[in-house]
Structure 1
Amino acid sequence: MRKPTPNTDALKFIPGSPVMKSGSREFLAGDDTRSSPLARSLLSVEGVKSVFFGPDFISINKQSHVGWPTMKPEIYSLLMEFFSASDRPVVQEGPIEENTGPLDTRIHDDDSEVVAMIKELLDTRVRPAIQEDGGDLEYKGFNEETGVVQLMLKGSCRGCDSSAVTLKSGIERMLMHYVPEVQSVEQVQSEEEKMAEDEFAKFEARLRGGGKTVNL
């Protein structure tokens, strides 16, 4: 079974059995996939940019120029083969990471009361809603001086045009309501996204320079 997401370049696949026992994992093109043969197989499909494993779903992001009709048959085949013929875990985790739940929102003894509240809200109120659309988030930190919460969006939320709206009108508003110390929520980009933006900026600079190479 598959479900559309707000991101037209992402689909949420539901195999009908548990995917991750706890937590979630995301693999991008070029990542080390030795811990997940399924991720390696899915990333080998032409056009696949990233694979996200949630509790009971798999979100796949594609390159915009490749159409889903050419990709879905191979994706379906790989998913059916894995889940019907194997009881192996989707991701082989080490003994320390196994069954620990989301690491980013785990509350530590040295967390302030504000940080603990932010983590609890993200884990119990925000994460389930985002996972319904095939995405997830990662808590990256809270600046107690500026009141800024930093989050990284994953899965179908990665690169989605509506992610900024989700961040501001949904997550930010809720956190500011329950935690007065929160002043805003900002999205943190992955290294891959930063590199892509840098390359696009260089490309635009070359266009403005009449095709000449521009060193940035």
Structure 2
Amino acid sequence: MPKISEIEPTPNPNAMKFILREPLTWGITRSYDNAEAAQADELASTLFGIDHVTNVFYVDHWITVTQDGGADWQELMRKLAAPIRDAPAADAHSEQMAAQSTAALSSENLSETDRARLAKINDILDEQVRPYLQGDGGDLYVIGLEGNLLSVHYQGACGSCPSSISGTLAGIENLVRQIEPDLEVIAV
């Protein structure tokens, strides 16, 4: 059972990041925008059962919970703490799932050229974007690459943060255009 080490605000005033002493997963991100999507995830489902919760995102040693703006954070954090502490810590099964997820991405129906392009894009995102997003309680993953269109999806606090759709997205587009000048980036 993970113990909460710290609770940090994020740039999104409606999201709070809980830093844990033990991991919930080994590299597998879990992101849910509603209770229906979280039905198969016991932790996320329990958190959505708490009034005002609108998004749950977690990976490794942290979890970000977003609310609708109608709750007092002090009261809401007390309600969120118990299910987070009661959640099972990551185990070997999570590690196996991470390996399967990575294998599925590399065997995606992309040409060799597009796989190489995607690898370069992910390298630059891993180095210069994801650490900052994760530091603020969110993350980003690439959904697709079709021609000159790169589709990305924000997770956690970044998913509903106004700056992610404007400033951060423009910054990502400028960054990947260093590799491919004609690349357009959209958030989905």
TM-score, normalising length: structure 1: 0.71
Match of 1:161 in 2: 162
Deviations 1:47-91 (A, max 9, x none): 001111112100001112222123111111222233xxx5565xx
- Gaps of at least 5 residues in structure 1 are 189-216
How far apart, CA to CA, are the structure 2 residues paired with 1:103 and 1:25? 15
Deviations 1:26-52 (A, max 9, x none): 123232545422112111111001111
Match of 2:3 in 1: none
Q: How many residues align?
A: 177
Q: Is residue 2:127 matched to residue 1:128?
A: no
- Gaps of at least 5 residues in structure 2 are 1-5
Aligned-residue Cα RMSD (Å) equals 2.7
- Name the SS of the counterpart of 1:23 in structure 2: coil
Q: Is residue 2:136 matched to residue 1:137?
A: no
Contact in 2 for aligned 1:141/1:151 (Cα 8 Å): yes
% same residue: 25
Instruction: Specify the code of the residue in structure 2 equivalent to 1:159.
Output: S
Contact in 2 for aligned 1:106/1:119 (Cα 8 Å): no
Match of 1:118 in 2: 121
Q: 1:101 to 1:173 in 2, by over 3 A?
A: farther
Considering fraction of residues, name the structure with more strand. 2
Query: 1:61 aligned to 60, 66, 70, which one?
Result: 66
How far apart, CA to CA, are the structure 1 residues paired with 2:68 and 2:103? 28
Instruction: Specify the code of the residue in structure 2 equivalent to 1:155.
Output: G
In the TM superposition, structure 1's runs of 4+ consecutive aligned residues that sit over 6 Å from their partners are: none
Match of 2:186 in 1: 186
Deviations 1:134-189 (A, max 9, x none): 11112122232xx2321111100011111121111x21121112x1244331111x
Considering fraction of residues, name the structure with more helix. 2
How far apart, CA to CA, are the structure 1 residues paired with 2:103 and 2:133? 16
Cα shift at 1:122: 2.5
How far apart, CA to CA, are the structure 2 residues paired with 1:102 and 1:124? 20
Question: Which structure has the bigger radius of gyration?
Answer: 1
Instruction: Specify the code of the residue in structure 2 equivalent to 1:158.
Output: G
How far apart, CA to CA, are the structure 1 residues paired with 2:47 and 2:80? 7
Query: 1:16 aligned to 14, 17, 21, which one?
Result: 21
How far apart, CA to CA, are the structure 1 residues paired with 2:104 and 2:177? 18
How far apart, CA to CA, are the structure 2 residues paired with 1:132 and 1:88? 20
Q: 1:88 to 1:99 in 2, by over 3 A?
A: closer
TM-score, normalising length: structure 2: 0.80
